[in-house]
Chains A and B, each alone.
Chain A
Amino acid sequence: GEDVEQSLFLSVREGDSSVINCTYTDSSSTYLYWYKQEPGAGLQLLTYIFSNMDMKQDQRLTVLLNKKDKHLSLRIADTQTGDSAIYFCAERRNTDKLIFGTGTRLQVFP
């Protein structure tokens, strides 16, 4: 199907790691992205991974890609209250179109 699936909600304690998962659909997707959306705002590009990579680390963010299972994850180390937001994964197919996941609301509590 067309849907890019994410779990709806994740709650973590401040200082712990967060792992947000995404299952995408098109094995020919070239790039996979993670975006952050704060309430009432647009999307902020956090990071991306090229489809021939398994892992990418960028400061507190680690992206893992399992192309065989079409599974993407975003790990946020040392999660802070400012990380509370909705996180969207997106796959880029053979055009420039992005197909977004359903979004995961991350809540960080002290």
Chain B
Amino acid sequence: GAVVSQHPSRVICKSGTSVKIECRSLDFQATTMFWYRQFPKQSLMLMATSNEGSKATYEQGVEKDKFLINHASLTLSTLTVTSAHPEDSSFYICSAGTGFRNEQYFGPGTRLTVT
């Protein structure tokens, strides 16, 4: 149980285009989903926390107009990287919270490369 999927697993896009990444909880409902970014050989940095039906809460330094988050249902959250630039190239990981401790279960990640 507690499986989280992400789609796509890998994407290459041109500079200036937008990319949407989906995060789904497959066998549970998640009231809270989290989006992280991980640079090579580094730790995970929380970008934003998203609650179903409300606006996401962004961490300091994360541009909300560049990283659009939509949490339309209890099983789906999307992250759209708008007007992507090469410096946005990274590994993006989502997690979904469930259970009385709201434990986070992580997706497999999406590798974004902006050329």
Interface residue ranges, A against B (CB under 8 Å): 31, 35, 40-45, 48, 88, 96-103
Secondary structure of the B contact surface, majority rule: strand
Give the residues in chain A near B43, CB-CB below 8 Å.
88, 100-103
Give the residues in chain A near B103, CB-CB below 8 Å.
45, 48
Q: Chain B, interface size: which category?
A: 20 to 34
Interface residue ranges, B against A (CB under 8 Å): 4, 6, 32, 34, 42-46, 49, 93, 95, 97, 101-109, 111
Give the residues in chain B near A100, CB-CB below 8 Å.
43-45
Asked, given contacts A96-B32, A98-B104, whether A88 binds B44 with beta carbons under 8 Å apart, the answer is: yes
Asked, given contacts A42-B93, A43-B106, A45-B103, whether A96 binds B46 with beta carbons under 8 Å apart, the answer is: no
Q: Which of A31, A43, A44, A98 has the most CB of B within 10 A?
A: A43
Which 9 pairs across A and B sit closest by C-beta, in order of nearness? A42-B106, A43-B106, A42-B108, A100-B43, A100-B44, A42-B109, A96-B102, A102-B43, A42-B107
Residue of A nearest to B94 (CB): A42
